[in-house]
Structure 1
Amino acid sequence: MLKEPFYGHYLSSFHKATQQHSDTNPPLLEIKPIGNSDIQISYCQQQWQTLSDDLALGALKHEALHLVLGHVFLRSAYSDSARFDLAADLVVNQYLSAEQLAPDAVSLAAVNHWLEALGRPSLEANRELDYYYQALPPSSQQPQCPGVGQSGQGHGSWNRLSTQSQAQQSLVRQQLESKLLQSAQRTEVSNAQSRGLLPAMVLAAVEEALSRRRPVVNWRRLLRLFAASAQRTFVKNTLRRPSKRYGTTPGTKIQPHQHILVAVDTSASVDDQQLQIFFEEMHHIWRAGAQLTVVECDTKINRQYAYQGKPPEAVVGRGGTDFNAAIDTANRLRVDATIYFTDGEAPAPEVRPRAPLLWLIHGLRSDDSAHSLSHCGRVIPMATDPHR
């Protein structure tokens, strides 16, 4: 809890038990299913009592990484179990310090030295399990590999997880995901300082779990509703229609009007595919009768024009991002609403919008960005799937 708080909180949520093995050399730690939807971590008490604090911490962290990265569900999917075990341990052992690794533990440096002696190319660091599995030789050639005897201890029980029914696996995965998110919340993994203490693979697993928990919204429908709500009406005299009340001319006619400023973030972080999707949806708003003024902006306004039904062949900009210039332009033009298409990766604007403002954000990287922008407008994330 003190040295590695994320892993401490994560592991504290699992059932623990001493092993009931008849083997003369049981594994130090073992992961196995318990009940219909949970995981138990069992340990060999006799071996555990001989470990130093650093080695005990390393052993726990090793198992936690296998769980976070989902290795426990994959073993039966690979035909060469011994090669899988070596690849899985190569992934997680790279995230342990030298003090946390047992002397005979498999390491990338030792495996690369062995591969070079065989005339095979070295393995890259910090890669995924499948990369190491494909790059390693078959298990028939592995007994000479340093650390291979230590690799895979306790992995045999994983087959009980990977051979469960789809319904049971789904329940276990949901439980593991809940434990992961709860640990991330308790240790404030979204905090920049906390993020720097965890490997990129763990952060990616947390972000993937978060994305699955976020409600998926139909951003296209919400965008159109926002545009429709910005419509104003005014009364216009007309000679074509007599007054219904008095029967005289000129009569009156209700005239709708919409003037929307569309700010398009053209900084380097916004890709052309998302720009195309956005302009397609903007075209529907224009066809519904809205007057659209487009400003292409990064740190400043690069181009301003009235949208006439045809998107530009290319946008101008590709610099940094600053929201103030576009909002200032919207205030000056006295538009009915502003739609800002951006990735949200910039400080919140200092200029306050006078009209309703909608942030349409693609590739939302953190909830902090959405929270800072929500103080001056509504935030809608664009789904990765363009059909959503």
Structure 2
Amino acid sequence: MGLILEEISKTSIKLLLNEPFYGHFFTGIVKEVSDRVNTAAVGMVNPQMVKLMVNPEFWESLEKPEHRYGLIKHEVLHIVLKHLTKQKEFSHKYLYNIAADLVVNQYINEEQLPEGGITLQRFWYIEEKYNIKLKPNQDVGYYYHKLKKLIDKNTITSANECNSEEGNLEGKPSPIMLDDLLKDDHPELEKHKFWKSVEELSDAEQKIMERYVNDIIKQTVNRIKYKGKGIGHLPLGLQEYLNELLESLKPNLDWRRVLRLFAASSSRTFLKTTIQRPSKRYGTTPGIKVKRKQKLLVAIDTSGSVSIPELQDFFSEIYHIWRQGAEIYIVECDTHIHQQYLYRGKPPEIISGRGGTAFDEPILFANEQYNPDAIIYFTDGFAAAPSIKSRCSILWLISSQGLKEDDSSWVTLPGRKVKMATR
């Protein structure tokens, strides 16, 4: 087992040297040598961790180093293109698996693919027999719906029928038949059986998993940019996908400025006597001057869907508000308030919570006990809207990988909502 893991590491080093994007991304994935799979597969450890599982006998059967190289690229691409979480949108799972392999194998050199791989070239007979052209460089939905038409018409050519036409095979790769691929025990698709566990996750857990993948993608792109590589060496289709993904994760406005302005405007004034500034109207001392004091209740979502890096981002922003002179009282909450304390410039050593999410408790606390000038709620937004109306203004700071602006739940949150950007 240890020897195979060492060989996998050597292959990942080759990826780092030759194709840094895949190599750096692969470093963020758990590796496991296991008999639970017949070949190799990506599966889930938990919603915040994905792993590559490799059967030891299968790995040894790949005698050519380039086939091992291509295998890792294949599995990395399934994760990068989010094929594990997108499957919920498609009803015919076997057909979806075929479409997913058609997508990723186009990004892998032919000599890196082991014999028997599902490639676009091996579906040449579909255009000739059914006049259905499968264009290259399309997404998984395109290939799924094209092949679904054949299944719905019940006109799938059998392998014997296609092979009997000897003239058709000259100069063409051996056809891979759709009816064979749809069988339960086909080895090329058996490796996708672990995707089922992802589909069984709740919507919130699937969003956590997407956030995890987005984080690895962003870290990978930033790392190779820092090293002067960038993604320019990747195929154009993959470049466009990554650029669109990274652009979609950017906020639409300067959320830090919004946060500062909100905190500054949510303040009360009071008079303070001073001997350093005489009253200009009456010429007496001590004089008076107007002081502003912000009294803010900061609610921090400590539910299980909020990651440690997100919590660190929350406390970083809280520190900057505190430096401006605000009085900040923090409540840590998931479905209930677990800790409450006056913030003095340092985050707590232990965060309490990590359960589900409900927004009512901090608002109730503000209304009945603390009476702040405003509430700032740091959260990923994955919960039902509060049922309690706040007596003061609320600013919702939604984490970078949290609820999206086009989600129907976004508009149900009362008050101002701002999406945080990734650092």
TM-score band, normalised by shorter chain: 0.5 to 0.7
Structure-to-structure mapping, 1:304-323, within 5 angstroms: 304-323=340-359
TM-score, normalising length: structure 2: 0.49
Query: What amino acid is aligned across from residue 410 of structure 2 in structure 1?
Result: A
Query: What amino acid is aligned across from residue 263 of structure 1 in structure 2?
Result: A
Which of residues 346, 352, 365 in structure 2 aligns to 1:329? 365
1:381 is matched with: 419
1:260 is matched with: 296
Deviation at 1:279, TM superposition (A): 0.4
2:109 is matched with: 78
Query: What amino acid is aligned across from residue 103 of structure 2 in structure 1?
Result: H
CA contact (8 A) 2:106 2:119 kept: no
Which of residues 268, 275, 278 in structure 1 aligns to 2:311? 275
Q: Percent identity?
A: 41
CA deviation digits over 1:145-185, x for unaligned, max 9?
xxxxxxxxxxxxxxxxxxxx99xx68x998xx9xxxxxxxx
1:358 is matched with: 395
Which of residues 248, 255, 279 in structure 1 aligns to 2:284? 248
CA contact (8 A) 1:75 1:81 kept: no
- More helix as a share of residues: 2
For residues 227 and 212 of structure 1, what CA distance do their matches in structure 2 show?
Answer: 27
Deviation at 1:369, TM superposition (A): 2.1
Query: What amino acid is aligned across from residue 355 of structure 1 in structure 2?
Result: C
Deviation at 1:71, TM superposition (A): 3.4
For residues 334 and 113 of structure 1, what CA distance do their matches in structure 2 show?
Answer: 64
Q: Find the residue that maps to 1:87 and give its secondary structure.
A: coil
Q: Find the residue that maps to 1:368 and give its secondary structure.
A: coil
For residues 115 and 372 of structure 2, what CA distance do their matches in structure 1 show?
Answer: 61
Q: Find the residue that maps to 2:312 and give its secondary structure.
A: helix
For residues 112 and 353 of structure 1, what CA distance do their matches in structure 2 show?
Answer: 57
For residues 255 and 115 of structure 2, what CA distance do their matches in structure 1 show?
Answer: 42
Query: What amino acid is aligned across from residue 345 of structure 1 in structure 2?
Result: F
For residues 285 and 102 of structure 2, what CA distance do their matches in structure 1 show?
Answer: 76
Deviation at 1:220, TM superposition (A): 2.5
1:372 is matched with: 412
Deviation at 1:216, TM superposition (A): 3.8
For residues 84 and 288 of structure 1, what CA distance do their matches in structure 2 show?
Answer: 64
Pairing 1:226–2:262 present? yes
Query: What amino acid is aligned across from residue 377 of structure 2 in structure 1?
Result: Y
2:78 is matched with: none
Deviation at 1:125, TM superposition (A): 3.8
1:345 is matched with: 382
Q: Find the residue that maps to 1:249 and give its secondary structure.
A: coil
1:27 is matched with: none
Deviation at 1:124, TM superposition (A): 2.6
CA contact (8 A) 2:303 2:355 kept: yes
Structure-to-structure mapping, 1:4-15, within 5 angstroms: none
CA contact (8 A) 1:356 1:377 kept: yes
Deviation at 1:296, TM superposition (A): 0.8
For residues 277 and 144 of structure 2, what CA distance do their matches in structure 1 show?
Answer: 82
For residues 331 and 307 of structure 2, what CA distance do their matches in structure 1 show?
Answer: 17
For residues 301 and 75 of structure 1, what CA distance do their matches in structure 2 show?
Answer: 51
Identify if the C-alpha distance between structure 1 residues 110 and 295 changes in structure 2 by more than 3 Å, giving closer, same or farther. same
For residues 403 and 114 of structure 2, what CA distance do their matches in structure 1 show?
Answer: 35
1:131 is matched with: none
Deviation at 1:308, TM superposition (A): 0.8
Aligned length: 245
Identify if the C-alpha distance between structure 1 residues 93 and 239 changes in structure 2 by more than 3 Å, giving closer, same or farther. closer
CA contact (8 A) 2:102 2:118 kept: no
Identify if the C-alpha distance between structure 1 residues 218 and 275 changes in structure 2 by more than 3 Å, giving closer, same or farther. same
Identify if the C-alpha distance between structure 1 residues 84 and 306 changes in structure 2 by more than 3 Å, giving closer, same or farther. farther
For residues 309 and 232 of structure 1, what CA distance do their matches in structure 2 show?
Answer: 22
Identify if the C-alpha distance between structure 1 residues 350 and 125 changes in structure 2 by more than 3 Å, giving closer, same or farther. same
CA contact (8 A) 2:403 2:410 kept: no
CA deviation digits over 1:13-71, x for unaligned, max 9?
xxxxxxxxxxxxxxxxxxxxxxxxxxxxxxxxxxxxxxxxxxxxx9xx99xx68xx993
Structure-to-structure mapping, 1:43-82, within 5 angstroms: 71=103, 75=106, 78-80=109-111
Aligned-pair Cα RMSD in Å: 4.2
TM-score, normalising length: structure 1: 0.52
Deviation at 1:76, TM superposition (A): 6.6
Identify if the C-alpha distance between structure 1 residues 242 and 298 changes in structure 2 by more than 3 Å, giving closer, same or farther. same
CA deviation digits over 1:81-114, x for unaligned, max 9?
9869943569756984994472433354559556
CA contact (8 A) 2:251 2:419 kept: no
For residues 227 and 327 of structure 1, what CA distance do their matches in structure 2 show?
Answer: 17
1:194 is matched with: none
Deviation at 1:241, TM superposition (A): 2.2
For residues 301 and 358 of structure 1, what CA distance do their matches in structure 2 show?
Answer: 19
Which of residues 186, 191, 196 in structure 2 aligns to 1:123? 191
